A and B are shown apart, each in its own frame.
Chain A
Amino acid sequence: MYVLPLLSGGLTLVGAMMVVTCPVAVHAVLYLVVTLLSLAMVLAMLGAQFAAALEIIIYAGAIMVLFVFVIMMLNLGQPDRDREKEWLRPRAWIGPGLLAVVACGELLYGLPTLSDPDGAVFPIDARDVGLSLFGTYVLMVELASFLLLAGLVTAFHIGRTLRERP
């Protein structure tokens, strides 16, 4: 009954763990793709097929390809792997791990709906999302376009200085 939810949720968590702990960048990217795909599965099971599709296309597709390209250009090798391992000694985990555990505990403690037995979810199709997006939230869409434009210009600018300087 709960095989599929358990599988996809567990896969998400395992993938995320591997991203955080893996010393090799390309492997981490592949784990991140796995995480995102299983997260897309979760989204689909929550009745958000549109969001799931976007997660696959934009996140696991476009953004991850960006990561792969950059890692290719960085030309990482064995020294980098060793350095990563050096940086990931158990001692380095103490502070961040503590902070993360505290934050996680607080989040779980602070979510009262976790004890809410009535957890039914309703599917929302792309039509509703579209109507909402270009109705109520049209101003926000404009703002998001500004943001993307700013991101584009910034990335272009930084990349240009990269090319022109020797």
Chain B
Amino acid sequence: MAALLPLVVVWPLAATVIVFLSAGRIKGRSAGILATGAVGLSAMTGGVLAAGFMSGAVTYPLHVTLWEWMRVPGFSATIAFALDPVSLVMIAVVTIVGFLIHLYAIGYMAADPGSARFFGCMTLFVAAMLVLVLASDLLCLFIGWEGVGLCSYLLIGFWYDSPANTAAARKAFYITRIGDVAMLCGLLMMATATASLQIDGLLFAVTAGQLSPAVMTGSALLLLTGALAKSAQIPFQSWLPDAMAGPTPTSALIHAATMVTAGVYLLARLHGLFAAAAPAMAIMAAIGMLTLLVAACTALVQSDLKRILAWSTISQLGYMYLALGVGAWQAALFHLVTHACFKALLFLCAGAIIARVDHEQDIFRMGGLRRFMPGVTAAFVIGAGALAALPLVTAGFYSKEMILSAVWRGQPVLTPDFILSGHLLWGGALFGALLTALYIFRCVFLVFYGQEKTVPTGRTRWVMAVPLGCLAFLSVFVGCVEMPGDIAPVHLFTRFVDPAGMAFHPHEPVWLLLAGAITPVAGAGIAWIVWGRSGPVTRTIPETGGGTDDLLPVMPLRFVVRITRYDLPDRLAAAAGWMTRATSRMMMRARRAALHLAAERTAMVGREGTVVLVRMQNGRVRWYAGWIVAGLGAALAWAMLS
């Protein structure tokens, strides 16, 4: 049984190698079938492992050490895999959702000349993610982490002949790179403290109190930074909407199964470390809260279908970080699973729509599409319902409810004097749920209802329709494995991933549940009032990119728009500019008055000093070498004389 574990990774990796080594001899369709088959085999292997797990033939955690990478005094690293319930859940998500996306991509990429390269990258993406979730050593995990980043770069810039696409790819790469550096620093910090990066050993060292609190908090914060960048949380959020430049299946894969979920997985995997680093937890919760609200507000005013979905991903990841921040990593993981299903569904539906309406992505130029594509409409509405967490009938409801109840109880401690209020966070999360329902049903009503603006052509092929059906099914029913105690005592998911943590479900007021159930419905209702009744104002195409005020006749929504426009980096830049202007104005006045002379002198010194510095930077290598030697001489003299 243990021998099966590496196979999970080997199948997609082998497909990648075959596709890339064939150097174009394997054409698009066969490459697609090969890739899909490989991911399918991987899913089946995972299924066998899960069956062995359920039947008790395997006891967890199952460790497989492939080889020892290096061993030096004070540090050792192994390439080793470990299977436990958490990684089993992740394997299921990555391979099953990945399989469906690959299947869809066979149809979607059929006409593209570079589709063999596309499938090679896609399977490599899945393989890297599987390495990431299976690794039992953080250095091995880091390999997968970097592999995921590389593949996202390759796939976002897949259509590399457009400069915008390559710019988006570079942006994604750079921003996640910032996080990777922080993560590497965190890993090195822990490696120096514990001499190994084995996850089990590390968590044991944390619980045994072998690490100093400073090391724990420091490395937790650094790892958190890495995860935030990977998951496009504030302040790293800007790469994900731009990542829409890639083919739609790529977006689905990035958003649902791989890449952005890696951060959540890492934090869930190391929850023991974070439990011991309370400030990191509180920061995580605060950032999650902030991200989910800001991203939801931004999604509300976007007009590009894929961008709306991208911002909604950021927002939903904010929920996961919020849950992780209050210690409910089980809830975060559960939301990850349901989110993977419905977000993949939404993206694939969006791809199907965009392919049929001549690559139009502006929702204001669509409309009335339900009469032309009823199947896709049904699938999209199911996905939208799950995203909005419509009560009882969707998977999203159960996972979001789990997060909300955990947040209500949570009390993230930033410092002993400053404790975030769980009730306040709950209120924010509930408001986020309202916004979620609002923006996604805005999208639904604008795209599928009202009068037709474009007439779709062609048909959605069955290879694309089947994944949509499967994902729609999953989006409805996958939530049934875990229910709030007041509805039914079903706690299969929690029992599976965390048998020890069953005290997780204390009884809570029923009105919490009711509030969580009513809010999305209310949001959908408001969306119907504003955009659904085909009010002529709200359905017109906005004049300018930012002119969204006219679209929102309802007064409270103006406030929302105002928040949305609150683009933090922009504001910071504006503030800096304002301060500069103010300072210079002040300087001017000062110069006119008594400080005239001083300002002149300052300016003169600056100018003259600049001249000297400019002289030094003459671009001549030999002069630079001379300066280096002079510095060396001075340093040596100082060292010897002092």
A residues near B (Cβ < 8 Å) are 95-96, 99-100, 102-103, 106-107, 109-110, 135-139, 142
Contacts and interface: CB of A to CB of B under 8 A. Distances in A.
Given A135-B72, A136-B72, A139-B70, A99 B626 contact: yes
Chain B: interface secondary structure?
A: helix
Interface stretch (B333-341, B439-447, B632-640): B632-640
Interface residues of B, number: 13
Given A138-B72, A139-B72, A142-B70, A103 B640 contact: no
A107 B107 CA distance: 71
B629 interface: yes
B640 A106 contact: yes
Nearest to A106: B636
Interface of B: 70-73, 626, 629-630, 632-633, 636-637, 639-640
B636 A110 contact: yes
A138 B636 contact: no
A146 to B, nearest CB: 14
Contacts of A95: 626
Contacts of A100: 629
Contacts of A139: 70, 72
Contacts of A142: 70
A86 B72 CA distance: 54
27 contacts: A95-B626, A96-B626, A99-B626, A99-B629, A99-B630, A99-B633, A100-B629, A102-B633, A103-B629, A103-B632, A103-B633, A103-B636, A106-B633, A106-B636, A106-B637, A106-B640, A107-B636, A110-B640, A135-B72, A136-B72, A136-B73, A137-B72, A138-B70, A138-B71, A138-B72, A139-B70, A142-B70
A164 B630 CA distance: 41
A142 B77 CA distance: 14
Shortest 9 CB-CB distances between A and B: which pairs? A106-B636, A99-B629, A110-B640, A102-B633, A103-B633, A138-B70, A138-B72, A139-B72, A103-B629
A106 B71 CA distance: 41
Nearest to A135: B72
Nearest to B629: A99
Contacts of A110: 636, 639-640
A136 B75 CA distance: 10
A142 to B, nearest CB: 7
Contacts of B633: 99, 102-103, 106
A102 B632 CA distance: 10
Nearest to B627: A99
A95 B71 CA distance: 50
Contacts of A109: 640
Contacts of A107: 636
A109 B71 CA distance: 41
Nearest to B77: A139
B68 to A, nearest CB: 11
Given A99-B626, A139-B72, 11 more contacts: A99-B633, A103-B629, A103-B636, A107-B636, A109-B640, A110-B636, A110-B639, A110-B640, A137-B72, A138-B70, A138-B72
Nearest to A141: B70
B528 to A, nearest CB: 58
B211 to A, nearest CB: 23
Nearest to B70: A138
Nearest to A96: B626
A106 B70 CA distance: 41
Contacts of B640: 106, 109-110
A95 B629 CA distance: 11
Contacts of B73: 136
A102 B630 CA distance: 9
A136 B505 CA distance: 51
Contacts of A106: 633, 636-637, 640
A127 to B, nearest CB: 19
Contacts of A102: 633
A3 B561 CA distance: 89
A7 to B, nearest CB: 30
B95 to A, nearest CB: 32
A21 B640 CA distance: 32
Contacts of B639: 110
A22 B70 CA distance: 48
A6 to B, nearest CB: 28
Contacts of A103: 629, 632-633, 636
B474 to A, nearest CB: 43
A64 to B, nearest CB: 23
Nearest to A109: B640
B383 to A, nearest CB: 44
Contacts of B637: 106
A100 B626 CA distance: 10
Nearest to A100: B629
Contacts of B636: 103, 106-107, 110
Nearest to B73: A136
A71 B305 CA distance: 61
A103 B636 CA distance: 8
A110 to B, nearest CB: 5
A148 to B, nearest CB: 18
A135 B629 CA distance: 36
A60 B272 CA distance: 56
Nearest to A140: B72
A126 to B, nearest CB: 20
Contacts of B72: 135-139
Nearest to B639: A110
